Every structure is written in C-alpha cells, then in structure tokens.
Chains A and B, each alone.
Chain A
Amino acid sequence: MEIPYTVTARPDTGLWNAKVGIWLFLASEVMLFGGLFSAYVFLRLDADPGAWPHGLLNVPVGTMNTAILIASSVTVVMAWASLKMRKFRAYWWYMLVTILCGVIFLAVKLVYEWPQKFDHFGAFIKKDKLEKYEKYLGNHHLAEKGLAPRTEVSGHLHNKEALHDESVKEYEIAMDPVNADPTNPAMDRPHFLYVPPTDKIATIEKEDVEYANMFLPKHSAYFASYFTITGLHGAHVLGGVIVFTYLWLPVGTKLYKRNPEHLANRVEVAGLFWHFVDLVWIFVFPLFYLL
C-alpha cells in the first residue's frame, strides 16, 4: 500500500499532503496563540491603573534575540532554496546556522533573561500605605503630570530570608532606579535599557505590603503572561530545533540521496513552522519588551 501525493502535488489541489497538513497545524497554532494573546489583552485591559508594569525587560538582549530569530528565518528559507537547486553543501551549512540560531535564542532566554528575572524582587504596597512610601513611589509627581500611580517598590532583595521567615518583619530592597529616583522625569516612562539596581536601600514593613514576590510567574498578571507565552514560544523553538537537527543529521543526507525533492518538502514544512514561530515572536517582542 502506498499513500499518494506524499511528494508530488495532487493535480486538482496543487498541493502535496504534508503542505496541507502543516498549514492546518499552523491554523490551530494561530488559534492557540490567539487564545493566549486574547488573554493578555483581556488581563491588560482589566488591570488597575498603573498595575501593568513597564520597562522591566532587557531591551537590548530582546532585540538581539529578535534579530537572531529573523536571521534564522532567512537561513532556513535559504536552506530550502539550496535543496531546490540541489546544492546539498549549502543546505547543510544553512541548516547548521539555523540550528545554532535556535540554540542561541533558547540559551539567552533560559540562561540569561529568565534567571535575571527570578533574582529580582518587587513588593506591592497596600493602597492606604502608599503615602508612607511616597519618597520611593513619587506618586504626587506622577499625579501632577496626569500619569498612573506606582504601587510597587522593586529591586534586589537584601534579606532573602524575609520571603519565608515569619519573624522577619520587613523587606530590605536595593531599589531599581525608578524607585531610587522616582521624581526624575526620565522615570515617567521607565528605562528600556537594563540598569542594575542602585545601592540605595528601602526598608518596607511587611504589614504594609499587599503582595510581594520575586519576579516569578506568580508575581503579577504581567509576568504570568510573559512567562507563559515566552515559555510556550520557547517550547516551539525547541521543537523546531529538534526537527531541524533530525533533518540535518545523516538521516537527511540519506533521504536526499534517495529522493532530494522529499527532503526539500520536509525542509519546507519544517521551515513553515519555523517562520510561524518567528512570526509569533514579532508580536511578543513589542508587547512585552517595549509597550
């Protein structure tokens, strides 16, 4: 038994099977990320004024990762074109670069960006205690300018034991620039560039705190959606890298010798998936890093 149209196109639809398959799969992926993004929109619209943070992510690193992903999209389409032109060596190199780009992207995410967040701390002040910490929040200044108030003091937690130890009554935070110098107009829309916390320490009593946590998914609706969406996106990148590696290994070479068009089709299908992953990132990047 043989299934027709695995490599050649069916005349009336002009498509081979896997192409239909991948586009259907991508359609479902659109709906998957559509669900997540609509959740993001819903939560962001629903957030109290000032509750959606701004400028917490490292823009240069994010920009670099965006560039890496775009570059890999170019190399994967070049890999496919090389196969179509039956230039196997070129294919092999382009594919290698694609895989490396994927790996670098993941490494930057998992080794640098995420751990840096996990190491950061933020404490949301109770509404009736905001006045007490005015010198860190600068809400009078913001109100004059008609901007949304700040409710969070963030930075590096000095006394980490405060997170778990009930007997410790306050948090000692080496503040981020935005809290260290809250009335500076430059902080009205906070820095996009990563700036290390200052050595200015704020002491915040636990009983004044509404909710405090490291920058983990549970820290806020913002980080919840950030980690979930980038996590799921990262899982897709990983999936793509695995498929590319499979096609790049000798298995792919063997298939090329037997039927180069089949390998080209497989690379095209995997490439379509990869472009989609890139496309999702094009929206993730401004939504989380810039806006």
Chain B
Amino acid sequence: MMNETDETITGEIAPVPANGHAEHDEHVAHNVAKHIRGYLLVGLTLLTFTGITVGLSYINFGTQKANVAIAMLVATFKAGLVAAIFMHLWSEKRMIYRILMFTAFFVLGLFFLIYLAWYDPITR
C-alpha cells in the first residue's frame, strides 16, 4: 500500500477524529482488513508448530544430528512465516530485498566458514 502518490497518503493531512475514518483512503483500510484473517491464521499456525516442535523433541530420530536438523527445519519454517507475513516480506520493495540478500549471504558465510574452520584444522 505504499504505491500511492504523494497526494493520496499525504503526510500532513488535517487532524482527524481519534477513531474516525475521515479523509483516509478507504482503499487502504480495505486492503488491510483483507489481511487480518491471514494474520490470525499465521498466529495459530505458529502456535501449533510450537507444540509440534516440543512433541518432536520427545522422539529420537536416531542421531543427534537428525534431531537438530528436524528441530531447525521446523524453526526455519516458523521464522519464515513470521518474516513473510508479519514482517510483510512476502511483498516488499526491491531495495529491502537487496539489503537482506547481502545480509543473508554474509551471515551464512559467517556460519559456513566458521564451521569449515572448525571442521578442517591442520592436524586432520
């Protein structure tokens, strides 16, 4: 909803009644209202998956590695939901994606290279 021109969402509109709709673009309000069900659904999904993670942790998947991998998979899914829906990353502007792409690259680089350095000491 940030695509409006300067006139539609002007920054300095006249004071409006504290809970009124006056002078506000109905279209924006409508757009937001459409999403509310989605927000609630995502909230419920997150709660469900919290339960699922806890449940899964009682099951031994053979190795500790597998246990960690499965728990992290669920966590990543949950984090992805938060980022995509609550943080609106599902439809964000290109500039934000660019910034986050760099960040993701560097943070993964940090993890990967530190892991590599641990994995490959000269004594091996």
Contact = CB atoms under 8 A, between A and B. Distances in A.
Question: Is A–B contact present in the complex under a CB 8 A cutoff?
Answer: yes
Interface of A: 6-9, 11, 13-16, 19-20, 23-24, 27, 30-31, 34-35, 37-38, 41-42, 45-46, 59, 63, 66-67, 70-71, 73-74, 77-78, 81, 84-89, 189, 192, 253, 256-262, 271-272, 275-276, 278-279, 282-283, 285-287, 290-291
Nearest to B60: A189
Nearest to A73: B86
Contacts of A253: 18
Residue from the set A30, A34, A192, A258 with the largest chain B CB neighbour count within 10 Å: A34
B122 interface: no
A286 B95 contact: no
Contacts, number: 169
Contact of B54 (A23, A85, A290): A290
B9 A8 contact: yes
A290 B102 CA distance: 31
A96 to B, nearest CB: 16
Contact of B95 (A20, A34, A272): A20
B79 to A, nearest CB: 5
A94 to B, nearest CB: 11
Interface of B: 1-6, 9-13, 15-16, 18-22, 24, 28-29, 32-33, 35-36, 39-40, 42-43, 46-47, 50-51, 53-54, 57-58, 60, 64, 67-68, 71-72, 74-75, 78-79, 82-83, 86-87, 93, 95-96, 99-100, 102-104, 106-107, 110-111, 114-115, 118
A31 B71 CA distance: 22
B15 A86 contact: no
Given A6-B11, A46-B118, A279-B79, A77 B39 contact: yes
Contacts of A20: 95-96
A136 to B, nearest CB: 23
Given A9-B9, A286-B53, 16 more contacts: A7-B11, A8-B9, A9-B3, A11-B6, A13-B93, A14-B95, A30-B103, A31-B107, A38-B114, A86-B20, A259-B12, A261-B11, A275-B83, A279-B83, A282-B78, A291-B57
Contacts of B46: 70, 73
A160 to B, nearest CB: 33
A271 B99 CA distance: 19
B99 to A, nearest CB: 6
Nearest to B34: A81
Contacts of B36: 78, 81
Contact of A34 (B11, B71, B107, B118): B107
Contacts of B2: 9, 14-16
